[in-house]
Amino acid sequence: MSEIGSTGKLLTALAAIAVVLVSACGTASSGNQPKAGGSLTIRLTADWDTLDPALTKSTLGYQMAFMAYDRVVALDKDGKVVPELAKSWTQAADMVKLTLRNDITCSDGSKLTATGVAESLKRLGAPDTKAPYAYRTFGTAGYTSVTGDDAAGTVTVQAAKPYSDMLIGLAMPWASIICPAGLKDPSQLQGKQFGSGPFTMTNLVRGDTYAFSARKDYRWGEAGATTQDPGFPGTVTYKVVSNDTTAANLLLTGGLDVATISGPDLARVQANKSLKEIIGVPYGTTFLLVNELSGRVGADPQVRKAIFQAIDAASWGKAAVAEQAEVATSFITRVVPCFDPSTKDLVPAFDLSAAKSTLQAAGWTAGSDGKLSKGGQPLTLQLAASTSGTDSSAEYMLDALTKLGATVKLNNVDFVTYTGILFGTTTPWDVATLPFGPPIPTPFAVNGFVSGATPAQKGTNAAYINNSTYNSESAAGLASTGAERCKHWANAQEALLKSYDIKPLAYSSIHHFGKNVQFRVIGGGAVIDVFSLKKS
């Protein structure tokens, strides 16, 4: 799982489906409460990269982590932090102190102590570990100390700088707690699991099948969930099914109990009323960028405004993913804490006539052919894109910007090449989209893409944005908690729109289906959490 996903698929944020009730025979209960111990088969869209939860970059790696590992805290369906290994905590902008349960055991039967939890978190944030998302847990400055007190049963994490998202970061899959047996030789974490979680892996066939069995003694799941709760599955099997049509057929004929379906097969699966559909909303959205590097045409905010006015978000979404797109108003969606609903009033509305007027007021004039120029220089835009299959969003933007009066040069490439263009310095570009797919529900996740180090400085601020209001408000958001935190993040979201630094376009919700299973969706991607709740 990367920070950004391909434009065509609108890959988005981390999700979890919590499978809540499964009967012992794999059928739904009809009046009688189902017993624990049933079986369940779930689709994986591809294979995982590593079983080390701190190092995996794949959504599928996180899927495996949720089976065998715990976190100190969890997020419920509303994004609220709830207990898991920790039964309580205190929090400041730069510190979290957790009080652990005293009955936690690892899958090998050993007791998991505060010292053991602290050592796992220390390894996550240690520079030598090179965990890609550790900074999402500890902040970009990292921690100064992580200590465990076995007598008191407490773990204290002290950040080097204020970072109010630490508690949320501790709920993320890369912050899964690895038991001491796994830390003795971390290289073994690549293909084995050493957790305190609800399941142990009993069969591994790379690229095909992964089977798990529930631990009978597990009782410290999210909000106190246990593996003996009514309907909790005793065995879970994951099957790698990369093709949506094949997955849809298996789901409809009973070969899969839970699956994510997209594309042309979505409609026929939705038509089967025996299936329960849960729609997951992602954390991030795809938004439009205009290169603001000095010397490029987009350095002028009025040019950016006109480009944003010339692109219709709804039409872009329809071109990208047909009817599966929802228009966005910020870089995050409504399910992320501190989402600012007032941003909808600041997004430049689609209006081609107004766009032309904006450029005319900025000194651009149209020739007899309708092409715009200023000071003898034509309005030339390098449009970078990565689309394939039924995704025609690049062609839509090409047409829209041409109608604006620009001379547009489209560079439509594969996704790896596209990221090289966007975050590199060798191939020029003026207009591009960033399919923002944060793995954590916080507005902070966008920071590196809209502020800070630029590609010339080996950073990811691709459009060379330097918005002083955003910078100060995002910093204030990280240094505060509660309502004050959200006030600053609302100001930060609005600042990017007021300066025409981004234009939110759309996001694609993820459609999950289950048969004879009750489940919920925690996020908007494809990680299935089978132990999150006692009740639906």
- Residue 2 is predicted with a pLDDT of 44
* 296, 486 contact by CB (below 8 A): no
**Quick one: CA torsion of 58, 62, 67, 72, rounded to 10 degrees?**
160
Nearest partner of 472 among 456, 451, 453, judged by Cα: 451
Residue 179's alpha-carbon distances to 106, 277, 360, in angstroms, are 6, 36, 64
Q: DSSP assignment, residue 1? A: -
- Residue 48 is predicted with a pLDDT of 86
Q: Supply 477's token pair.
A: 């958001």
Asked if residue 361 has pLDDT above 80, the reply is yes
Tens of pLDDT, residue by residue over 50-67, are 999 999 877 778 889 989
| Residue position matching structure tokens 């909790």 | 232
Instruction: Among 28-37, 268-277, 302-311, 314-323, name the most confident range.
Output: 302-311
Interacting residues of 265 by C-beta distance below 8 A, sequence separation 6+ = 244, 245, 247, 248
Tens of pLDDT, residue by residue over 64-109, are 998 999 999 998 777 789 999 999 999 999 999 999 999 999 999 9
φ and ψ of 368, to 5 deg:
-65, -25
Q: Supply 76's token pair.
A: 């419920």
Give the residue-averaged pLDDT of 34-43. 82
- Residue 245 is predicted with a pLDDT of 95
Terminal alpha carbon distance of the chain: 28
Structural domains for the chain: 12-67+197-281+510-536 (3.40.190.10), 70-193 (3.90.76.10), 286-508 (3.10.105.10)
Interacting residues of 341 by C-beta distance below 8 A, sequence separation 6+ = 329, 334
Tens of pLDDT, residue by residue over 469-516, are 999 999 999 999 889 999 999 999 999 999 999 999 999 888 889 887
Tens of pLDDT, residue by residue over 298-348, are 999 999 999 999 999 999 999 998 777 899 999 999 989 999 999 999 999
Tens of pLDDT, residue by residue over 385-395, are 999 888 999 99
- Residue 532 is predicted with a pLDDT of 35
More confident residue, 157 or 221: 157
More confident residue, 119 or 441: 119
Rounded CA separation 476/307 (Å): 31
- pLDDT band for position 222 (cuts 50, 70, 90): confident
- Residue 79 is predicted with a pLDDT of 76
- pLDDT band for position 528 (cuts 50, 70, 90): low
| Residue position matching structure tokens 């559909």 | 277
Q: Report the percent of the chain where pLDDT is more than 70.
A: 90
Q: Is 0.75 surpassed by the pTM of this model? A: yes
Give the residue-averaged pLDDT of 285-309. 98
* 118, 179 contact by CB (below 8 A): no
Q: Cα 435 to the chain's mean position, in Å?
A: 11
- pLDDT band for position 5 (cuts 50, 70, 90): low
- Residue 33 is predicted with a pLDDT of 60
- Residue 256 is predicted with a pLDDT of 95
- Residue 78 is predicted with a pLDDT of 73
- Residue 187 is predicted with a pLDDT of 95
Q: Supply 223's token pair.
A: 């909000």
- Residue 523 is predicted with a pLDDT of 53
Nearest partner of 442 among 145, 155, 223, 133, judged by Cα: 133
